[in-house]
Structure 1
Amino acid sequence: MYLFISGPEIFVILVIVVMVFGADKLPEIARGLGKGMRQVKDATNDIKREIKNSAEKNDIDIDIASNIKNEINKVTDNIEDYSQPVKKIKDTIVDDITGPIKRNK
């Protein structure tokens, strides 16, 4: 559920709201809440749009997270490229050491 509130808890809250404000005021309260939530959503969208436009105007890359992820992937690939020969040498040495031991048993 939304905000960790279950059905019975919502019902209790609605009963309390009806008792406090009355049934005739509920539509007005709901309209006011809806209007307020819409204004908040519009304001956040405007802020996001302004930040994006300002970043594009000043040639600032706003997609930093994907760039960092790409760089991490490149570094990981480079590390794997360098570590593969070392792993092969290690495996060869381990095989050379354990080979005679396994043959003697």
Structure 2
Amino acid sequence: MLSAPELIMILVVGLVVFGPGKLPEVARSLGKGVREFKKATNALSQALNAPEQAPVQQQATVQPQAPQPAPTAPETPAAKAQPATAEQPAQPAKPAYQAPTQESVRQQIQEQSEKKAE
């Protein structure tokens, strides 16, 4: 830990090097950098210390859609102008991003080490 005289000496050198106008900007950006570093290390330690979960495999079941009854209202010119939409089969929803688990990271590392050994 820094003592008071060491801290004062660092501030004086910083004042001489950067000047009184730039010193607050430098201190602010240094503080932001330290804060971001702490956030990143906390996130990494939480990811590594998280309990392992078995991967859940989702099987999509496609259920046939029942045919839609025809509209009973009389057709208007505006309704005739709109094209009929064709029924599209339901596609299973895929997650946009799935976070890596400890097991998947271990498997990737093992695969990479096996490739290097070959």
| TM-score, L = length of structure 2 | 0.42
Which structure has greater helix proportion? 1
Scaled by the length of structure 1, the TM-score of the pair is 0.47
Higher normalized contact order (CA 8 Å, seq sep 6+, divided by chain length): 2
